[in-house]
Amino acid sequence: MVNIPIIEAPDFQDKVLLHSCCAPCSLAMVEALINSNIQPTIFYFNPNIFPQKEYEIRKDENKRFAEQHHLPFIDFDYEHRNWLKETKAFSNEPERGIRCAVCFSYRLEVTAAYAYENGFSLFATTLATSRWKDVKQITAEGHKAAEKYPNVKYWDRDWRKNGFTERKNQLNKEKDFYNQQYCGCEYSLRDVNKWRISKGKPKIEL
Ligand code: SF4
């Protein structure tokens, strides 16, 4: 028996602009939103992903996922060079360090701006479902981004508890979406490969 949660959006909103990092992280969140009659619009803005080939794979998978659920999909810019300018000072930071806070801020600020300009009062991000990320960083950057725009709110909710992570894992086993091997940027690829070599595993080759 599958238990899909019924959730309530802030101010009883019935639509949300959903910044989505990838299909696997979106599965349980979108399922719960649809089950709760809250219409998600998928907003794909992830200029952190390197190389472009990997970006295209993740984007295409996310599009395929949106199509399966008949959801609007906004394909925003891929401006990796600008993202690099913002984060290069923190290239040696570990994952969950300052670089990641800057990366979340970069993506969520653009999401908040899009929400403001396109009539969304609420936005959320699938980044908040990941057990690999520091959710406190994501929440802080989500609120900071929302504060810049009147009448736009960041949906601050725990998307990992109350069965969400278990459901996400179950759906990922059932569906065959591309599952990435590293977070996204060249720095995370470098660090994962360093770790893999130390364990005698083959490098990720793209
Ligand atoms: S490790 Fe992930 S969250 Fe951190 S900067 Fe790179 S892409 Fe962004």
* DSSP 8-state assignment for residue 41: E
- Residue 156, amino acid: D
Nearest CA to ligand 1 atom 4: 100
Find out whether 55 and 25 touch, Cβ atoms under 8 Å. Answer: no
The model carries a pTM of: 0.96
Tell me the per-residue pLDDT of 94-135, one tens digit each, with 9 for 90 and over: 999 999 999 999 999 999 999 999 999 999 999 999 999 999
Q: What percent of the chain has pLDDT over 90?
A: 94
Ligand 1 atom at shortest distance from the alpha carbon of 90: 5
Ligand 1 and 93: CB distance under 6 A: no
Q: Which phi-psi region, left, alpha or beta, contains residue 74 (left: φ > 0; alpha: ψ -120 to 50)? A: beta
Ligand 1 and 49: CB distance under 6 A: no
Give the residue among 60, 50, 63, 155 at the shortest CA–CA distance from 103: 50
Find out whether 181 and 205 touch, Cβ atoms under 8 Å. Answer: no
Whether the per-residue pLDDT at 158 is higher than 80: the answer is: yes
Nearest CA to ligand 1 atom 6: 185
Ligand 1 and 137: CB distance under 6 A: no
72 Cα–ligand 1 center, Å: 26
Peptide bond into 51 cis (omega under 30): yes
pLDDT computed for residue 1 by the predictor? 64
Q: Biggest alpha carbon distance in the chain?
A: 52
Ligand 1 and 188: CB distance under 6 A: yes
Please give the Cα distance from 166 to 45 (Å, whole number): 26
Tell me the per-residue pLDDT of 38-83, one tens digit each, with 9 for 90 and over: 999 999 999 999 999 999 999 999 999 999 999 999 999 899 999 9
117 Cα–ligand 1 center, Å: 26
Q: Which phi-psi region, left, alpha or beta, contains residue 37 (left: φ > 0; alpha: ψ -120 to 50)? A: left
Ligand 1 atom at shortest distance from the alpha carbon of 96: 4
- Residue 115, amino acid: A
- Tell me the CA distances in angstroms from 154 to 45, 138, 141, 179, one per residue in order: 16, 10, 9, 27
Give the residue among 29, 31, 32, 27 at the shortest CA–CA distance from 124: 29
pLDDT band at 3 (very low <50, low <70, confident <90, very high): confident
Ligand 1 atom at shortest distance from the alpha carbon of 102: 5
Ligand 1 and 156: CB distance under 6 A: no
Nearest CA to ligand 1 atom 2: 183
Which tokens hold the place of 141?
């950057």
